[in-house]
Amino acid sequence: MVSYSHPDTRWRWDYGKTNDEYLPNTMRDNVALFEKYPHDILNFSGSNGYRTMKDDTPADHEQVKPHVAADRWLPAGSSAEERDLNAPSARTCAEPCGIQDCHPRIRR
């Protein structure tokens, strides 16, 4: 089985709750599930999530690394955050990729 997870900061969750609760729980819960279910695989997207894991909970981040090396925890996606296509616009689609920093019409 391949599970999928991503921090939903573009739509429903704020960064504080995501960083303090959801990301650490995602790491800890899935590492525990890997022990319980040795054939499980997790697909986790959003590069900001990995940066936050490393900065805020480095000990937990270290627990994830062996699972990445074993191809059980799969870093995925091409953007810093998942896009929110419930509110489609050029800005909503470009912002998660960092394009707003390059294009003056999208810049905040």
pLDDT in tens, 9-25: 666 677 788 788 888 99
Residue ranges of domains in the chain: 2-80
> Percentage of the chain with pLDDT > 70?
64
For residue 103, the model assigns a pLDDT of 40
Phi, psi for residue 89 in degrees, rounded to 5: -165, 165
For residue 19, the model assigns a pLDDT of 82
For residue 79, the model assigns a pLDDT of 61
In whole angstroms, what separates CA 98 from the centre of its chain?
Answer: 15
As a whole number, mean pLDDT of residues 73-101 equals: 62
pLDDT band for 100, please (50, 70, 90 cuts): very low
pLDDT, mean over the chain: 76
The Cα–Cα gap between 21 and 24 comes to 6
Q: Which residues contact 82 (CB under 8 A, 6 or more apart)?
A: 6, 7, 8, 9, 10, 45, 46, 96
More confident residue, 32 or 1: 32
pTM for this model (two decimals): 0.68
Does pLDDT of 108 surpass 50?
no
CA-wise closest residue to 67 among 101, 44, 47: 44
